[in-house]
Structure formats: structure tokens, C-alpha cells
């Protein structure tokens, strides 16, 4: 593990440790909201280090984060992707109780809960009633990179690690919400980018960004589901619901009981600070958000083993690796954040930035 620090001097509202494979999204939002921020994550990108007082990087996920809480001596901890159910006292967590997050993150448990609530979802198959083709998904985990299409019995995965779900085609969308625990407020409907080859993605189901807002005739139905589902699960602060949407309407795929990857797009589209909104919701305060423009976050992946040879910093880039960093094929390289009065305007900005970023990397 490596230890890095960044000098900051702004007044703060308290101290938080943000934990996650990519902690930049929540950490920098917290910093902009006036909090003193520390980071524990897999990446030490240049823009992350500008947001934090201190950062510790891990190569492999640590078994416990309690030693890091003692090291940093912070007021609260924010649990991000991969750490939603970490062994932290609920009183320390600025967000969902890890025990609740563990249940919600178990997609088989969630499917049963959705059935109880009468909320539409793709059918879950057991091994005796499989209809091919279907989708195999890890019981726990997100990002889509381990999902795959099962065409016949020879492709069935380990039963204790994966579950099987009806293959439903449509548009992947999400709803970002804020919740007090008893009341949930939808903030935005977002397009989920998956498997985009122009972003270097090799796998059809790999997450690679968001566009906010997404305009759909099913918006009200999706928001109604969010208002019902999030409080029923006992979730607080910001949480996301992933849907698959086609002519038959929306079906729930999973819940992200944490800060979502769409945070950049939502903040750009609304002009609001989502970390402060998260804290306000936990404290029982909700207010409506207004969409002001399109926010587009795209994650560029490496198409081969790649070395960063120039500084990739710009107003449109985030998760910026240091010069000299080497990535294997099919790794997330950098995020590109653009806004526009239209989706097309934001998209054009993203594609132009992708071209500029590619000039700063080399195949090795």
C-alpha cells in the first residue's frame, strides 16, 4: 500500500474517509461541499489527490477498513463500490447501514423483495426452469463486466457465485434518488452507457458512463417505483436504481446502495453538489432538483497495454492518471465529463476529448 498526501487549507464541515475502488467521485464532491476528506482506494489519480488531505492506495481489497479509520481518526466514513457492507459500525457510516446494504447488494435477496412489493423485474431462473438464452450475473457485485449471456447448459456458471436472469432487451437507465429513510425523492433519470466500443470497451455489459437526463415516457413510472422502493428497503442518502426499459415499460435490475457512477453527470446536469444533498437527506431534508443542461460522463478504456505519456489534465477530464502509468488491456483509463444544451452538444465534446486523450497515450 502506498501513502500519498495533498496539502489543503479550506475550512471544513467535519472529516470523512471515502472508501471505494474509485473514491474520486464522492471524495471530490465532499471536498467541494467543504468537508475535510481522506481516501482509501485502488487509484491515486491526480485530481483525487487535489481533493484529499491524505490518500492510501490498496492493490488488493483489504479484509478490514477499521485500521484505516483509526489511522485517519475521521468523524464519518463513506462506503463506496465494493465496500458497501464493510465491517464498520453503522454509527460511523455517512450513509446506509452496512447490514442493510449487504442485503440490498445480494441480487437474489433483492429479487424476492421486489416480488413482495409487486415491482416489475426480469424473471429469476433456478437451474430446473432455465429458458435460454439468459443472463448470468454475480450474486454480489456491479459494473457489469462479469455478466455474460448463457446460450445453453454447457455455459452455466457456478451456482454459489452466479444467478440466472431472463434476458430482457432494452435501454439501460437509472434513477438517482435521495432518501430520508421514510421518504425518497427522485433527482434524475440517467442513461447508462454499457459496452461502447468507441470508448475502448471489450465486454458488452461493462459500465462506461452516464448521460443525464434521459427523456423517456416512462419517467413518471420509474420515479414512482423509486419513491416506493427506496424507503421500503430502509435506504438513506443517495441511492441508485438500475432499470432495463423497453416498450413494455421499466423493470428493476439492481440497487446501488451508495454514491453512484452517475454522480458526475447528475452534478453537471443540475449544478448541485450531491454530497451535500446526501448529507441533508440523511438529516431529514429533501428539496427538488432542477435539470439545467445535459451532463455526459464517459469512461475511456484501454484497447491494449497502454502507457500514459502526456499529462491528460483538462477541464473535461477526471480520474487522471500520472504520466508514466501503465495499464493492461481493458482497464478504465480516464473519465471525460462534458455538458451541453443538447445531448448532441455534450456528446460532441466527449468525442473531441477522446481524440485529444488518445494523443497522450501509447501502446506498449
Q: What is the DSSP string of 174-230?
A: EEEEEE-SS-EEEEEEEEEEES-GGGT--STT-EEEEEE----TTHHHHHHHHHHHH
Cα–Cα distance between 9 and 19 in angstroms, integer?
A: 22
Residue 340 has pLDDT above 50, yes or no: yes
Per-residue pLDDT tens digits for 93-112: 999 999 999 999 998 899 99
Q: What is the pLDDT of residues 54-65, one digit of tens each?
A: 999 999 999 899
The pLDDT, as a whole number, for residue 163 is 87
Mean pLDDT of all residues in the chain?
Answer: 93
What residue segments make up the domains of the chain, in order of their start?
2-94, 121-166, 171-363
The C-alpha R_g of the chain, in whole angstroms, comes to 20
Q: Residue 206 pLDDT more than 60?
A: yes
- What is residue 334's predicted lDDT score, i.e. its pLDDT? 98
The per-residue pLDDT for 12 is: 66
Report d(CA 310, CA 313) in Å as an integer.
Answer: 9
The confidence score (pLDDT) of residue 36 equals 97
Q: What is the pLDDT of residue 126?
A: 86
Per-residue model confidence (pLDDT) at position 129: 87
171-363 has which fold?
D-amino Acid Aminotransferase; Chain A, domain 1 (3.30.470)
pLDDT in tens, 292-307: 999 999 999 999 999 9
For residue 290, what is the enclosing H or E element?
none
Predicted confidence at residue 142, as pLDDT, reads 63
Q: What is the pLDDT of residue 249?
A: 97
Q: Is-same-fold flag (2-94; 171-363)?
A: no
pLDDT in the model for residue 3? 42
CATH fold of 2-94, please?
A: Rossmann fold (3.40.50)
C-alpha grid cell for residue 219? 419517467
Q: What confidence score (pLDDT) does residue 4 get?
A: 42
Of 126-130, 228-232, 311-315, least confident by mean pLDDT is: 126-130
Inform me whether the pLDDT recorded for 145 exceeds 90.
Answer: no
Helices H, strands E: what count in the chain?
A: 9, 20
DSSP code, position 146: T
Query: What does the pLDDT read at residue 315?
Result: 98
Question: Are 66 and 88 within 8 A, CB to CB?
Answer: yes
pLDDT at 68 > cutoff 60: yes
**pLDDT-based confidence at residue 47 (cuts at 50, 70, 90):** very high
Share of the chain above pLDDT 90, in %: 83
Average pLDDT over residues 209-229: 98
- pLDDT tens-digit map of 1-32: 444 444 444 556 999 999 999 999 999 999 99
Amino acid at each position: 500500500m502506498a501513502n500519498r498526501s495533498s496539502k489543503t487549507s479550506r475550512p471544513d464541515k467535519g472529516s470523512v474517509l471515502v472508501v471505494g475502488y474509485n473514491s474520486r467521485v464522492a471524495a471530490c464532491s465532499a471536498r467541494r461541499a467543504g468537508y475535510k476528506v481522506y481516501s482509501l482506494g485502488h487509484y491515486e489519480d491526480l485530481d483525487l489527490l487535489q481533493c484529499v488531505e491524505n490518500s492510501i492506495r490498496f492493490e488488493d481489497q483489504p479484509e478490514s477498513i477499521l485500521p484505516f479509520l483509526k489511522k485517519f481518526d475521521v468523524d464519518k466514513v463513506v462506503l463506496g463500490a465494493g465496500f458497501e457492507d464493510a465491517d464498520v459500525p453503522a454509527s460511523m457510516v455517512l450513509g446506509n447501514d452496512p447490514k442493510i446494504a449487504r442485503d440490498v447488494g445480494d441480487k437474489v435477496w433483492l429479487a424476492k423483495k421486489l416480488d413482495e412489493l409487486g415491482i416489475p423485474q426480469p424473471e429469476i431462473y433456478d437451474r430446473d426452469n432455465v429458458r435460454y438464452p439468459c443472463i448470468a450475473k454475480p450474486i454480489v457485485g456491479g459494473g457489469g463486466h462479469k455478466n455474460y449471456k448463457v446460450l445453453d447448459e454447457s455455459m452455466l456458471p457456478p451456482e454459489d457465485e452466479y444467478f440466472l436472469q431472463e434476458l430482457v432487451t432494452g435501454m439501460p437507465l437509472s434513477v438517482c434518488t435521495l432518501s430520508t429513510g421514510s421518504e425518497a425523492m427522485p433527482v434524475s433519470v440517467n442513461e447508462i452507457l454499457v459496452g461502447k466500443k468507441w470508448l475502448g470497451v471489450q465486454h458488452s455489459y461493462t459500465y462506461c458512463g452516464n448521460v443525464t437526463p434521459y427523456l423517456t415516457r416512462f419517467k413518471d413510472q420509474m420515479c414512482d417505483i423509486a419513491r416506493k422502493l427506496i424507503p421500503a428497503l430502509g435506504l438513506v442518502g443517495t441511492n441508485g436504481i438500475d432499470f432495463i426499459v423497453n416498450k413494455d415499460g421499466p423493470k428493476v435490475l439492481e440497487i446501488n446502495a451508495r454514491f453512484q457512477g452517475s454522480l458526475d453527470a447528475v452534478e453537471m446536469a443540475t449544478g448541485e453538489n450531491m454530497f451535500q444533498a446526501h448529507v441533508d437527506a440523511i438529516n431529514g431534508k429533501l428539496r427538488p432538483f432542477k435539470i439545467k443542461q445535459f451532463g455526459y460522463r464517459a469512461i475511456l478504456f484501454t484497447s491494449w497495454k497502454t502507457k500514459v505519456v502526456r499529462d491528460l489534465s483538462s477541464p473535461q477530464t477526471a480520474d487522471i492518471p500520472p504520466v508514466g502509468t501503465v495499464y493492461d488491456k481493458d482497464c478504465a483509463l480516464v473519465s471525460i465529463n462534458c455538458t451541453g444544451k443538447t445531448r448532441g452538444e455534450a456528446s460532441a465534446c466527449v468525442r473531441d476529448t477522446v481524440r485529444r486523450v488518445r494523443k497522450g497515450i501509447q501502446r506498449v
